[in-house]
């Protein structure tokens, strides 16, 4: 069976997300298993070139993953005709310029989110990609997590009846770095480096709401900078001046009300680091990234409050966990497979740079709402 070698430049290869999710769990795993079977029977086999800033780390990662090519020179990598796809997983502040260079070089582009720090820049990238005739996409991994897949099926089946409200609670306590090592890169907490909860996570919540429930129509948001001193990877203290939490209310199409609480300053007491609850006239569901629980209308217990006695109900016991009916496949890998088929065979792929621009617009509106203490409309963006 013949193969189609798909050359992919992975920029920011030694970063946490690129190393673990995009390389180990996705591209290298696909290559190790012999590639994807195309519609004509040939196999689509990823061949990656790692790009970064530290030669020693790149060499070590190549040795670990069995990758041959690496480079410290992005322009040289972009000039190599054997690599038709550019993937960007660098820090947010650098992404827009890198993507513009890749588009100008005629590469197909796929990238982490957000695609830029400002909406107009993100929209400009999408328009440039369309004009160049390349195939482009943005990572929206939460859509392929098992719990949210099940939640989406409940919505499409009509389980909820008329949907009333949505509640999203996300993230976890990120160590300051003095007593315990930080578990997220320090740039996430510096404004100058493109850090901040709102820019990082509101793009996720935008596509989760729009794809699973309904598009956003207006929002109000309050950001916060709760922890103002952190310690970086070298153990040096720095001023953490980026927002590390956000609290938003979003009105969706059809009058559905969504509440978002997302914080790197909260200790988790729920079933997953991101949890989405949907309440409707016909029933409710709570989905994490891995599992989904339901409580239909006719199985809803009678809850009553009394100051004179402990709650007589175990409010967890009356929920039913949906069974897993298909094998788990890493969410990042599932979207990579769709994107590789999109490049090789023009298979459908809707999560383009225009979708990425919508997410940057949503985050930008949330930041503006915070600064103005105001409700803001969410303009509809057509591709």
Residue 356 · residue 99 · CB < 8 Å = no
Whether the bond into 114 is cis, omega within 30 of 0? yes
Half-sphere exposure of 77 (CA within 13 A, CB side): 24
User: What pLDDT sits at residue 312?
Assistant: 77
Contact partners, residue 327, CB within 8 Å, separation at least 6: none
Neighbours of 40 (CB within 10 A): 9
User: What pLDDT sits at residue 310?
Assistant: 78
Q: Which domains does the chain have, with CATH numbers?
A: 3-141+331-352 (3.40.50.720), 144-326+361-376 (3.30.360.10)
User: What pLDDT sits at residue 287?
Assistant: 98
What distance in Å separates the CA atoms of residue 366 and residue 261, rounded to the nearest whole number? 13
User: What pLDDT sits at residue 268?
Assistant: 96
User: What pLDDT sits at residue 1?
Assistant: 61
Mean pLDDT per 10-residue segment, the chain (383 residues): 92 95 97 94 96 96 96 97 97 95 98 96 97 98 96 98 98 96 94 94 97 98 98 96 98 98 97 97 97 96 81 87 91 98 96 97 98 97 71
Half-sphere exposure of 346 (CA within 13 A, CB side): 2
351: its two tokens: 């999560």
63: its two tokens: 């040795």
User: What pLDDT sits at residue 308?
Assistant: 79
Q: Which pTM value belongs to this model?
A: 0.94
Task: At 208, give phi and psi (nearest 5°).
Answer: -60, -45
């Amino acid at each position: 069976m013949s193969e189609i070698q798909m050359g992919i430049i992975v920029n920011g290869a030694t970063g946490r997300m690129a190393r673990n999710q995009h390389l180990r769990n996705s591209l290298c795993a696909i290559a190790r298993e012999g590639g994807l079977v195309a519609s004509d029977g040939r196999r689509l086999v990823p061949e990656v070139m790692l790009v970064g800033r530290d030669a020693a780390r790149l060499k070590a990662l190549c040795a670990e993953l069995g990758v041959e090519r690496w480079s410290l020179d992005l322009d040289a990598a972009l000039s190599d005709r054997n690599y038709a796809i550019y993937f960007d997983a660098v820090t947010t502040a650098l992404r827009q310029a890198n993507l513009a260079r890749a588009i100008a070089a005629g590469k197909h582009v796929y990238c982490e989110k957000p695609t830029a720090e400002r909406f107009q820049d993100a929209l400009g990238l999408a328009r440039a990609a369309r004009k160049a005739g390349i195939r482009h996409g943005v990572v929206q991994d939460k859509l392929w997590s098992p719990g949210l897949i099940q939640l989406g099926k409940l919505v499409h089946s009509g389980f909820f009846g008329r949907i009333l409200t949505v509640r999203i609670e996300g993230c976890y306590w990120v160590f300051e770095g003095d007593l315990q090592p930080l578990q997220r890169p320090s740039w996430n907490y510096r404004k100058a480096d493109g850090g901040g909860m709102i820019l990082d996570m509101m793009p996720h919540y935008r596509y989760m709401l729009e794809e699973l429930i309904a598009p956003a129509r207006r929002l109000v948001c309050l950001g916060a900078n709760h922890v103002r001193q952190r310690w970086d990877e070298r153990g040096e203290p720095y001023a953490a001046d980026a927002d590390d939490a956000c609290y938003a209310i979003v009105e969706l199409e059809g009058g559905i009300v969504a509440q978002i609480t997302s914080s790197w300053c909260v200790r988790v007491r729920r079933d997953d680091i991101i949890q989405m609850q949907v309440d409707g006239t016909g029933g409710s569901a709570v989905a994490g990234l891995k599992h989904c629980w339901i409580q239909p209308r006719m199985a809803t217990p009678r809850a009553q409050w009394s100051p004179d006695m402990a709650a007589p109900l175990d409010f967890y016991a009356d929920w039913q966990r949906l069974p897993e009916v298909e094998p788990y496949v890493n969410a990042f890998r599932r979207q990579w497979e769709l994107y590789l088929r999109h490049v090789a065979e023009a298979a459908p792929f809707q999560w383009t740079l225009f979708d990425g621009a919508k997410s940057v617009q949503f985050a930008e509106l949330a930041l503006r709402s915070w600064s103005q203490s105001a409700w803001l409309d969410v303009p509809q963006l057509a591709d």
